[in-house]
């Protein structure tokens, strides 16, 4: 059964802190100017680029619903419940994407205090500390209790994006899901009934941050997919990029695994295949099924499921983690799945494919296709294929740096 959704209910407004000092960040569209071959030259500049690429407004989209601001990361229903805070030498800041500015919440350098709350802090004190929270009520009016899962997935997407951007800048990032929640909430001044920290990303100082083309091209294939085949090699590349180990502070007792439901993949039988994590090969598990079978008939996913070349299912096992991590495992597993989903979107953009993340799958129907251990379940699906026509009209606000 799909969760009951009220499409008329709107998301709550993003957070801001009236009355605190606001620090405008250097304008990231400066990337449109000719490359000097060097990265940002002040810590404020690289923080501005990092935050823009993480959660800023990076494009304008036109759709039937009007004009909207597009972000580098996807979000369930476009609700964007995640907020990003940075603990910096100058103090604790909250990022306001619409203004591309920082709200200065405290002039104290809280990096050491935040690091102390981590169950597995990095060996050397981190220079960069990002805190990713979720506003608990952000999407509940529309999605009901299912909104909590979307929030965990969304913060996973943001965490994955932070890891990607910081790793590309040579900053050796690590994401933390295990920390002293209460103490951390107090440090940030959060009301625990309204907003909680879901993840912390620690890193060295980035060497050079610049938007790569795939990072700026990622978006949901809103115009649907051309129902044409894609080569198996392209799908395998997307899967290989997606399945790289995530630098997290914990090991999953049973890791997320990827399954592919192929419909139009040249060189791959139509049906469900499991990606063997050791060899990267696709092992057939159920013949003849197509991504359409993942969606309830007549629902919004059915057409997209029919058109897509294939679906990638991100799966995980809830039961294996509770004995080790307690209730927190629910959030940890969905955070992991969100980070994997972020990689799928990026790898698809790099391969020139359109992608669409979907949580509106019929989970029991999808799980039946996996023929996996009974506790393994589908956490989300990503549809892949060439986007129809020229895609939805969109205007980029940042430009990739030309190769030097
Ligand atoms: C966890 C998650 C679940 C999503 N589920 C769906 C879905 O079920 N159906 C859908 O059409 N889009 C889904 N999306 C895509 C969002 O609607 C989309 O990311 C958002 O509107 C922002 O647009 P963009 O991806 O083009 O930037 C999902 C995205 C995320 C991150």
User: Both tokens of residue 2?
Assistant: 């799909």
Ligand 1 center from residue 275 Cα (angstroms): 24
Which is the closest atom of ligand 1 to the Cα of 70? 27
Q: Are residues 174 and 245 in the same domain?
A: no
If one compares 358 and 210, the residue with the highest pLDDT of the two is 358
Longest dimension (CA), the chain: 60
Q: Please write the tens of the pLDDT for every residue from 267-302.
A: 999 999 999 999 999 999 999 999 999 999 998 899
Give nearest CA residue, ligand 1 atom 10.
Answer: 358
Domain residues for the domain of 283 are 224-385
CA dist 110 and 260 (Å) reads 44
Mean pLDDT of the chain: 93
CB of 400 closer than 6 angstroms to any ligand 1 atom? no
Contact (Cβ atoms closer than 8 angstroms) between residue 77 and residue 11: yes
Q: How far is CA 295 from CA 135, 137, 170, 261, 282, in A?
A: 29, 27, 40, 12, 23
Q: Are residues 276 and 349 in the same domain?
A: yes
Dihedral (CA of 35, 36, 42, 43) sign: positive
| pLDDT of residue 27 exceeding 80 | no
DSSP letter for 297, please.
T
Number of H helices, E strands in the chain: 11, 18
The predicted pLDDT at position 55 comes to: 97
Q: End of a domain among 179, 213, 247?
A: 213
Burial class (CB in 10 A: 0-12, 13-18, 19+), 382: buried
Report if residue 4 sits inside a domain: no
Contact (Cβ atoms closer than 8 angstroms) between residue 275 and residue 257: yes
Q: Are residues 203 and 291 in the same domain?
A: no
CATH number at residue 283: 3.40.109.10
Report if residue 178 sits inside a domain: yes
Q: Are residues 177 and 293 in the same domain?
A: no
Report if residue 401 sits inside a domain: no
User: Both tokens of residue 336?
Assistant: 């992991």
Percent of the chain residues past pLDDT 70, beyond the cut: 95
Q: End of a domain among 213, 235, 262?
A: 213
| pLDDT of residue 36 exceeding 50 | no
DSSP letter for 336, please.
H
- Span of 30-34, 194-198, 300-304, 388-392 with lowest mean pLDDT: 30-34
Tokens 């909680």 correspond to what residue? 196
| 28 confidence band (pLDDT: 50, 70, 90) | low
The predicted pLDDT at position 37 comes to: 43
| 161 confidence band (pLDDT: 50, 70, 90) | very high
For residue 179, report the phi and psi dihedrals to the nearest 5 degrees. -160, 170
Q: Please write the tens of the pLDDT for every residue from 321-362.
A: 999 999 999 999 999 999 999 999 999 999 999 999 999 999
Q: Are residues 101 and 123 in the same domain?
A: yes
CB of 150 closer than 6 angstroms to any ligand 1 atom? yes
The predicted pLDDT at position 13 comes to: 87
| pLDDT of residue 132 exceeding 80 | yes
Ligand 1 center from residue 221 Cα (angstroms): 10
Enter the pTM of the model. 0.96
To test ligand 1's pocket by mutation, which of 2, 59, 77, 218 has the most ligand atoms within 8 angstroms of CB? 77
CB of 345 closer than 6 angstroms to any ligand 1 atom? no
To test ligand 1's pocket by mutation, which of 158, 343, 359 has the most ligand atoms within 8 angstroms of CB? 359
Mean pLDDT to the nearest integer, 381-391: 95
The number of beta carbons lying within 10 Å of the beta carbon of residue 287 is 10
Report if residue 219 sits inside a domain: no
Mean pLDDT to the nearest integer, 57-79: 92
Q: Are residues 201 and 234 in the same domain?
A: no
User: How many domains does the structure of the chain reveal?
Assistant: 2
Q: Are residues 122 and 248 in the same domain?
A: no
CA dist 81 and 34 (Å) reads 35
3-state secondary structure of 82: strand
């Amino acid at each position: 059964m799909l969760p009951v959704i009220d499409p008329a209910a709107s998301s709550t407004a993003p957070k801001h802190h009236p009355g605190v000092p606001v620090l405008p960040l250097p304008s990231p569209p400066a990337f449109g100017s000719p490359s000097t071959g060097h990265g940002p030259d002040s810590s404020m500049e690289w923080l501005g680029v990092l935050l823009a690429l993480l959660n800023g407004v990076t494009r304008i989209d036109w759709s039937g619903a009007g004009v909207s601001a597009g972000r580098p990361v996807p979000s369930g229903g476009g609700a964007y419940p995640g907020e990003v805070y940075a603990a910096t030498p100058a103090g604790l800041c909250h990022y306001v994407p619409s203004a591309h500015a920082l709200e200065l919440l405290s002039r104290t350098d809280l990096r050491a205090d935040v690091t102390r709350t981590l169950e597995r802090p990095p060996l050397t004190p981190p220079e960069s500390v990002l805190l990713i929270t979720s506003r608990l009520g952000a999407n509940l009016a529309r999605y009901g209790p299912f909104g909590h899962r979307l929030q965990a997935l969304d913060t996973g997407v943001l965490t994955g994006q932070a890891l990607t951007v910081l790793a590309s800048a040579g900053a050796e990032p690590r994401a933390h899901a295990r920390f002293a929640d209460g103490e951390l909430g107090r440090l940030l001044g959060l009301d625990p009934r309204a907003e909680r920290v879901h993840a912390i990303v620690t890193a060295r100082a980035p060497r050079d941050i610049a938007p790569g083309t795939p990072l700026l091209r990622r978006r949901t294939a809103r115009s649907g997919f051309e129902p044409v085949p894609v080569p198996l090699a392209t799908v395998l590349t997307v899967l290989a990029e997606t399945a790289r180990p995530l630098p997290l502070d914990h090991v999953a007792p049973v890791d997320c695994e990827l399954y592919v439901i192929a419909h139009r993949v040249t060189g791959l039988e139509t049906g469900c295949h499991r990606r063997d994590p050791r060899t990267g090969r696709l092992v057939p598990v159920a013949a003849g099924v197509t991504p359409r079978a993942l969606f309830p008939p007549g629902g919004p996913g059915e057409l997209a499921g029919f058109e897509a070349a294939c679906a990638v299912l991100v799966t995980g096992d809830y039961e294996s983690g509770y004995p080790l991590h307690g209730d927190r495992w629910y959030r940890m597993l969905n955070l992991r799945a969100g980070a994997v989903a972020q990689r799928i979107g990026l790898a698809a953009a790099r391969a020139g494919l359109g992608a669409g993340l979907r949580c509106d799958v019929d989970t029991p129907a999808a799980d039946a296709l996996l023929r996996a251990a009974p506790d393994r379940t589908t956490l989300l699906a990503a549809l892949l294929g060439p986007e129809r026509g020229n895609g939805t009209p969109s205007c980029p606000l940042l430009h990739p740096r030309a190769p030097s």
